Amino acid sequence: MKPAPSTSLVEPQFAVPALPPHFAKAAQPSPASSNAARKPSAAIKHSFPDAHLPYLLQKITELTTSSLVVLVDAAYQDLKQYKVRKKAIEAKVREMCEKDDRHVWAVKSGFPVSAAVDTGVHRVVYVPPLQIPSSAN
């Protein structure tokens, strides 16, 4: 004959050993690694020089591209001789431009543009900064 089934349902318990010390340290999250305690990103070390702003505006109006990468790289190729960094160019483009209804990068309507730089009907002409040759005495 079979023994009568018990009325209490007892689930089996398993023994889980403790982690070794070298694993226990890695398993505990440290306060510095939590996402909530993240530091804000640092400011750009090399900001975009205002002297080259007319050229950047000219490049934006000439290219009429939807690709930020193409726009930044085209400006960088011409400005790398002046030691302007790609990150600085990208940050400036994101600051002063937005994608318009045609999905191309265009200067924001509220962005303050000096009177010398007109991005409307007139073409912007870039004049590089004057480089004074050093005199050898």
* Amino acid 109: pLDDT: 81
* Tens digits of residue pLDDT in 11-34: 778 888 888 887 766 666 655 555
* Tens digits of residue pLDDT in 29-79: 655 555 555 555 555 577 888 889 889 988 988 888 899 999 999 999 999
Residue 103 has pLDDT above 60, yes or no: yes
* Amino acid 122: pLDDT: 41
What are the extents of the domains in the chain? 52-107
Q: Which long-range contacts (CB under 8 A, 24 or more apart) does 78-87 make?
A: 79/52, 79/55, 82/49, 82/52, 82/128, 82/129, 83/46, 84/46, 84/48, 84/49, 84/52, 85/46, 87/44, 87/46
* Amino acid 123: pLDDT: 45
Mean pLDDT (whole number) for 72-88: 92
The better pLDDT of the pair 121, 73 is held by: 73
What does pLDDT average to over the chain?
75
pTM exceeding 0.85: no
